[in-house]
Amino acid sequence: MEYSRKVGPADGSAVPSGAPEARAMDFGSVFLPSTVKADGVDAPSSVPPAGSQQNGVNVGELIVSRGFGTVIRHRDFEERSNYYDALLTAESRAISGKKGIHSAKDSPAMHITDLTTVRKMLIVLFNFYSETFLNLFPTFDSF
């Protein structure tokens, strides 16, 4: 873990130490091992700070560089990730490259079909999958 912060129970905002009902949240970075250096424009730098032995790709930096997330700004005196500057750089590259949530395109509409409300469809699907299962595994006569 890189650092811990005490937060309030309701909204997650920082509270002074020793305050009643405060809980501690631990923060850290996740790395995926990589044996090959990526040559893409959106590849994260994965440059660890001095004295660190982390190898691989920083998952947070990868998410931010692809435009799937943003970086929460911290004040200079607050504790923050050792990779905070790399995360800010990745975010600025994503914004300038108009990637992910920073693009001008509308996100595609999400279509969800709730099958729990359609009883007939549930029965048809159950019968189909039951017959398919029995055809694949004829030794099971019943469930």
pLDDT at position 128, please?
Answer: 82
> In the structure encoding, which two tokens stand for residue 124, read together?
């048809």
**Closest C-alpha among 102, 2, 108 to residue 42:** 102
User: Of 65, 71, 73, 82, which Cα lies nearest the Cα of 29?
Assistant: 82
pLDDT at res. 131:
77
Residue 63: its pLDDT value, please? 95
pLDDT, position 92: 95
> DSSP label at 56?
S
d(CA 75, CA 67): 23
Predicted local distance difference test score (pLDDT) of residue 19: 59
Q: What is the DSSP letter of 14?
A: B
pLDDT along the chain (143 residues), means of 10: 78 59 83 66 51 76 94 85 92 94 84 74 80 69 54
Give this prediction's pTM.
0.57
- Asked if 64 contacts 91 with a C-beta cutoff of 8 angstroms, the reply is yes
Instruction: Give me the phi and psi of 23, to 5 degrees please.
Output: -125, 155
What are the extents of the domains in the chain? 3-102, 112-143
The beta strand positions in the chain, using DSSP E, are 3-7, 23-27, 31-32, 57-58
Please work out, in degrees rounded to the nearest 5, the angle formed at the alpha carbon of residue 129 by the alpha carbons of 125 and 130: 115
* Coil/strand/helix, residue 93: helix
